Structure 1
Amino acid sequence: MSSSESIAHDYLYTAAQVRELDRLAIASGIAGFELMSRAARAAFAEIPRRWPDKSLIDVFCGGGNNGGDGYLIAALAENAGMAVRVWALSDPLSLRGDAALARQSASDAGVVIKRWEGERPRSQALVVDAMLGTGLTGLVRENYAQAIAAVNTSEAPVLAVDLPSGLCSDTGRQLGAAVRASVTISFIGKKRGLFTLDGIDCAGDKVFDTLAVPSAVYLQLSDDTAEKTKLLNLNTMLAEWGARPRNGHKGLFGHVLVVGGDIGMAGANLLAATAAARSGAGLVSCVTRPEHSAHFLAARPELMVHGLAGGQLAKGGILAGLLDKASVIVIGPGLGQSEWARVLLRSVVSSNKPLLIDADALNLLAETPEILRSHTAPRILTPHPGEAARLLECDTVQIQRDRFAAVLALRDKYQATVLLKGAGTLIADADTTAALYLNSGGNPGMASGGMGDVLSGVVAAFVAQGHFPAHATCLAAAVHAAAGDEAASSGERGMLASDVIDNLRGVINRYAAVSG
């Protein structure tokens, strides 16, 4: 695949960008009806491939071009000898343009077309969802919501055309109701809403077809990278990393300092530090409460552990020496919000070292964002939606309503590389001209305590080894998710953060093993 062709596969697009790609494709000489016909053929090809035993096809069609795709799929199914019926959610005779031509093609093929009045899909049928596409912006209208409910409560598998009906193409949230598809085939540009939030559950298996749109069309849109979202590819990133020098030593691979672990929360610090060590950092140190030192060393003797009480945090003391030696500092895992924690945060920020701020350090930062004014080194924030809401002084619902907007707002407010956790993790580079990044890996088993602490350690280890903050964050997100997916091979329920740590080393070294 050439670099220009890979743009179509590697990037995610908004609905407006896909419409522009459509326009550019038509301007390049491909008729709109031809694009619709190609989409129908690509979708129809999935039916015998995925469901070779299905000969009953119920196609639910809306009133726009998405419905036009459905009418053409119905025509193809009818011509293939399948028992097809179309349920029209709007008056078929009101269709215009290419959609009207598609409806006529279905009628000419002998497809039975009826207005939908509450009917459920037939038993043993395959449902083709061609009701609502990328043009939907507001809540689903009542008749469409009822049709979506009829599809979802049936036992029929569902092939969604371009987008599950009711899903917001740009944000991935349900707009009142959304089809839960078995397979979604999308065209020309991958819709970013399919890869995050509700889109992950609604889309099912995702298939993509460029419809043979020329590479030049994508290149016409490629200059505006800041408006696109790039899918992370772990194998590509690991391949670019390359092998370690044979004469390397621990000093070449950086020194991670993990600060946190208040009373009752020592495990978070230990998880982050262990993950950093397993991710290749040359040296890893911890600052924690004195009560925890012996337990840390017993659990992980490779760490350098410093137990500091409140009276030992004076400026110029032991802490200052530890901060000075660090290549990158993680603050937050198990930090708490006591005065001990606040002194540590102020000291770490004033060291002006590269920082990763997570967990309780984010909550303290939300209270006093001005603390970063004197910090000029690179910084990375890794909030979950609740922490992001506190940082932006809003609620979690607002964050989840548009995760893409939220991660950009965090980047701009805190002038940092930001990783917004959740299904379809998003990363915004501190460089405002760069694209967003989305990691599609991971699984529900990772929704358990300590997973974020592990991620913080991995990110810091990659920064310590010389990766730029945004690249380190992207690589860490992909590695962390892949390690979680390997851990889930034994089952998602009951998976622990330490199970992910156990898989980090193998994932990071996988490319070298394969290429060797």
Structure 2
Amino acid sequence: MPATLPLYRAQDARAIDRRAIERLGVPAFELMSRAGAAAWRLLRERWPQARRIGVACGPGNNGGDGYVLARLAREGGCRVELVALQPPRTAEARQAAAEWQAAGGRTQVFEAGLPEVDLWVDALFGIGLTRAPEGAARELIEAINAAAVPVLALDTPSGVDADRGHVPGAAVRATSTLCFIAAKRGLHTGAALDHVGEVVLDPLALPPAAFEGTPPAARLLRPAALQRWLPRRARDSHKGRYGHVLCVGGDLGLGGAVRLCAEAALRAGAGLVSVATRAEHVAAILAARPEAMTRSIEDAGDFTPLLERASVLALGPGLGLGDWGWSLWTAALRSGKPAVLDADALNLLAGQQTWALPAGCVLTPHPGEAARLLDAAPGEIQRDRFAAAEALAAQYGAVVVLKGAGTVVAAPEEVPCVIAAGNPGMASGGMGDVLTGTIAALLAQGLSAFDAACAGALLHAAAGDAAAREGGERGLLPSDLFAPLRRLANPHD
């Protein structure tokens, strides 16, 4: 499995398809035949014991892929129940349906219930549907989900927006999704992740020439990609080479947030880590983590010497929205130092729409914070996470890490990246503080802001997965990430 994977929009996949047909001379029906054969191979590989196969076909070419699979399954000795939503509309789908019928297959028109089978194949809409299914289409999708058997979705689970990951209504919950030709970017973020199951890509034997002129719309980052950003250190290393992170936050009662941030920066490899916080938190942080140089800061005047020594700021964990937090926030950003902004640093920024951020800043909002920054509703953010991340990056001239399932990293003039790691156990208070410290540490070690954001988000998510494997997702604590964070930050050891 490659460490990175190019992701495409539906329109890009169609362009690649057209180029293969028009310029490379691959007949359209040949592509459909390859898709159906690929789906049949995957089905036999994943469910070799399945003998009763249900195939739900729509009227377009996705349905045509289903007719091809149905014929191959029947020829392979399976009992196939083919349910059609509507008659095929495209020439290729009609040809596939005719070959299915010529082979002795029988087509049922969906009316209410479904026959009992060992597995369903979703060949209803693929990338062709971007709105909520209605009428019989909705009823058929709901019936497939209610069947309580494995589901193989062809190209995209029907009802899922392949570009945005949005699920506007009923959608198939697949066990596996087989993408044809190009991986679809929307299947790797947001609500789509609860519908796609395992995602497999089959390029249908198309040569690289078919992809020329169609750049990817995003890139998927898997944990193996960490090796490119985290090389072995030189033997003559010293702490000065790896930057000085200053963690700023911890208003009264919120000291734990900045302490988590500081330890994450240490575990991710920063050479030096300082903490600027309230006096009440100094003793506790020093007792728990003496490596973090913790100072009591009561006003901006005390803050200046720390700012001057730092190379990167981690701004926001437990900062608060009061006068103390505001004074440190303004002093930090006026210092001109690159900063990672999280939590209350983002909430303060939302109230200062015209504030110009220093170069090299990274914003790490969750959907609610992103909504405040864009003056939008959280639901709008989740409907198109790519557009939201890119809008924030353009608005603030910064790198943006839009947190959530399938974290999206965007920046001006960069191809967005999607993090293929992380789990629901990480939905707990303090995880964002660990992420902030992690990204700040990588920024301090010399990575560009975009690379630090990508590597930091990936390292953080992979550490969360490693910790969850030890004891499960529910009850996962931010501090559980520290041991795997250190281990994964050394991918060559």
TM interval, shorter chain, is: over 0.9
Q: Does 1:391 align with 2:381?
A: no
Q: Which residue of structure 1 lines up, in the alignment, with residue 475 of structure 2?
A: 494
Confirm whether residue 364 of structure 1 aligns to residue 360 of structure 2.
no
Identify the residue that residue 352 of structure 1 maps to in structure 2.
336
Partner of 1:409: 391
Q: Percent identity?
A: 47
Q: Deviations over 1:375-394 (max 9, x none)?
A: 44221100000000000001
Please give the alpha-carbon distance, in whole angstroms, between the structure 1 residues aligned to 2:473 and 2:339.
32
Residue 163 (structure 2) pairs with residue 174 (structure 1)? no
Among 6, 12, 15, which residue is 1:11 paired with?
6
C-alpha separation between the residues in 1 aligned to 2:187 and 2:69? 22
Q: 1:371 is paired with a residue of what secondary structure?
A: coil
2:365/2:403 contact within 8 Å kept: yes
What does the per-residue CA deviation read over 1:118-174, in whole Å, with 9 as the maximum and x for residues that have no partner?
12241x421011011112122212111000110111121111111111101111111
CA distance in structure 2 between the aligned counterparts of 1:121 and 1:42, rounded to whole angstroms: 25
- Given candidates 182, 185, 188, the residue that maps to 1:189 is 182
Report the equivalent of 1:245: 234
Q: Which AA in structure 1 matches 2:98?
A: Q
State how far apart, in whole Å, the 2-side matches of 1:240 and 1:454 are.
19
Distance in 2 (CA, whole Å) between partners of 1:306 and 1:319 is 9
2:359 aligned residue: 377
Alpha-carbon distance in 1 for matches of 2:229, 2:205: 29
Question: Does residue 1:274 correspond to 2:263, yes or no?
Answer: yes
Deviation at 1:458, TM superposition (A): 0.4
Q: What corresponds to 2:461 in structure 1?
A: 481
Q: What displacement does 1:234 show? A: 3.2
1:325-360 per-residue CA deviation (whole Å, 9 max, x = no partner) reads 111001100011011001111100110100111101
Report if the CA contact (8 A) 1:121-1:127 is conserved: no
Matches within 5 A, 1:325-340: 325-340=309-324
Cα distance in 2 between the residues matched to 1:219 and 1:293: 57
Bigger helix share: 1
Residue of structure 2 in register with 1:448 after alignment: 428
**For 2:305 and 2:458, how far apart are their aligned partners in 1?**
33
Is the 8 Å Cα contact of residues 253 and 281 (structure 1) preserved in structure 2?
Answer: yes
Q: Which of 142, 165, 178 is matched with 1:149 structurally?
A: 142
CA distance in 1, matches of 2:480, 2:286: 20
Q: Could you tell me how far 1:35 is from its partner in structure 2?
A: 0.7
The AA in structure 1 aligned to 2:15 is E
Residues 1:512 and 2:492 aligned together: yes
1:10 maps to amino acid: L
Name the counterpart of 2:417.
437
Question: Which of 276, 285, 288 is the aligned partner of 1:299?
Answer: 288
| 1:201 aligned partner | 194
Match of 1:100 among 94, 101, 126: 94
SS at structure 2 position matched to 1:220: coil
> Which secondary structure does the structure 1 equivalent of 2:156 belong to?
coil
Q: Could you tell me how far apart the structure 2 residues matched to 1:477 and 1:40 are?
A: 37
Structure 1 counterpart SS, 2:286 = helix
Q: Which amino acid aligns with 1:75?
A: R
Contact persistence 2:181–2:202 (CA under 8 A): yes
Q: What's 2:27 paired with? A: 31
Q: How far apart, CA to CA, are the structure 2 residues paired with 1:313 and 1:344?
A: 6
Gaps of 5+ in 2: none
Aligned residue runs from structure 1 range 64-79, under 5 A: 64-79=60-75
Report if the CA contact (8 A) 1:334-1:359 is conserved.
yes
| More off after superposition, 350-359 vs 232-241 | 232-241
1:56 paired with 2:56, answer no
Deviations 1:90-118, CA, capped at 9 Å, x for gaps: 124xx221111111111111111011001
- Which residue identity lines up with residue 72 of structure 2 in the other structure? L
How far did 1:395 drift? 0.7
1:286 is the counterpart of 2:266: no
Contact 2:230 2:489 in 1 (8 A): no
What SS does the aligned partner of 2:386 have?
A: helix
| Residue 313 (structure 1) aligns with | 300
Secondary structure of 1:134's counterpart equals: helix
Aligned to 1:44: 40
Deviation at 1:240, TM superposition (A): 4.9
Q: Deviations over 1:175-202 (max 9, x none)?
A: 3110001111011110111101121110
Indicate conservation of the 8 Å contact 2:313/2:337, yes or no: yes
Over residues 383-417 of structure 1, what are the superposed CA-to-partner deviations in whole Å (9 max), with x where a residue is unaligned? 00000000000110110011110001101111100
Contact 1:197-1:400 within 8 A present in 2 as well: yes
User: Post-superposition shift, 1:237?
Assistant: 3.5
Consecutive unaligned residues in structure 1, runs of 5 or more: none
What CA distance in whole angstroms lies between the structure 2 residues aligned with 1:185 and 1:277?
41
1:424 — aligned with what? 406
**2:210 aligned with 1:229, yes or no?**
no
Determine if contact 1:483/1:507 at 8 Å carries over to the other structure.
yes
Provide the secondary structure at the position in 1 that maps to 2:195.
Answer: helix
Residue deviations 1:427-465 (CA, integer Å, cap 9, x gap): 012xx3220111010111111111110000000000000
In the alignment, is the contact (CA less than 8 A) between 1:346 and 1:371 conserved in 2? no
CA distance in 2, matches of 1:472, 1:234: 14
Q: What secondary structure sits across from 1:346 in the alignment?
A: helix
Partner of 2:108: 114
TM-score by length of 2: 0.97
